[in-house]
Amino acid sequence: MYKQYDVVNLVNKIQGIINNGTTITAYDVVPKDTVAPFAVIELVKISPADTKNWYVKQYDFYIHVIAAGKQSSVPIYRYIKEIEEAFTDDIALPEPYQLVAQIDNGLQTLYTEETGEKHAVLPFTFKIAYDLKVK
């Protein structure tokens, strides 16, 4: 079996894009007593997405965006926009890996937590080729 791209590296890259390209901090595990706003990266699924010529894995993530509880939803909309804009540039991968697709799947849900915080879920898909098929 060919060496697939390490999912830990992918999470780190996603976290770096959010931390460097937005005004919020991204976590894979939220430290206790963290105050909003922040984002949480959740790996949802890894599945094969091979093409005719390439071995490809599809990585599906949810990016949870949490904003402080206020009367207005404007802050959460601003954070959503910041994340969308941060992902307009493709993730850079080392050789021999190739990013086949980086897809912003829109807004899945937006709701208010019992604490009054706003919570948005943004699904993203990354397809990464990790080897060429040889016949």
In a 3-state reduction of DSSP, which class is residue 124?
Answer: strand
Specify the DSSP class assigned to residue 5.
P
In a domain, 40, yes or no: yes
In a domain, 28, yes or no: yes
In a 3-state reduction of DSSP, which class is residue 88?
Answer: coil
In a domain, 26, yes or no: yes
In a domain, 2, yes or no: no
Total count of domains within the chain: 1
Position 69 scores a pLDDT of 77
Q: Per the structure block, which two tokens stand in for 42? A: 């959740």
Alpha-carbon span 44 to 46, nearest angstrom: 7
Compute the chain's Rg from CA coordinates. Answer: 16
| CA within 13 Å, CB half, 12 | 7
For residue 44, give the H/E element and its range. strand 38-48
How does pLDDT run along the chain (135 residues), one tens digit per residue? 579 999 999 999 999 999 999 999 999 999 999 999 999 999 999 999 999 999 999 999 999 999 997 778 899 999 999 999 999 999 999 999 999 999 999 999 999 998 889 999 999 999 999 998 886
In a domain, 91, yes or no: yes
List phi, psi (to 5°) of 44. -100, -40
**Orientation angle between helical segments 74-86 and 7-21, nearest 10 degrees:** 120
In a domain, 93, yes or no: yes
In a domain, 67, yes or no: yes
Task: Tell me the residue range of the domain where 117 lies.
Answer: 7-132
In a domain, 111, yes or no: yes
Alpha-carbon span 121 to 47, nearest angstrom: 21
pTM for the full model? Answer: 0.93
CATH code at 42? 3.30.2000.30
Q: Which residues contact 83 (CB under 8 A, 6 or more apart)?
A: 18, 22, 39, 63, 65, 122
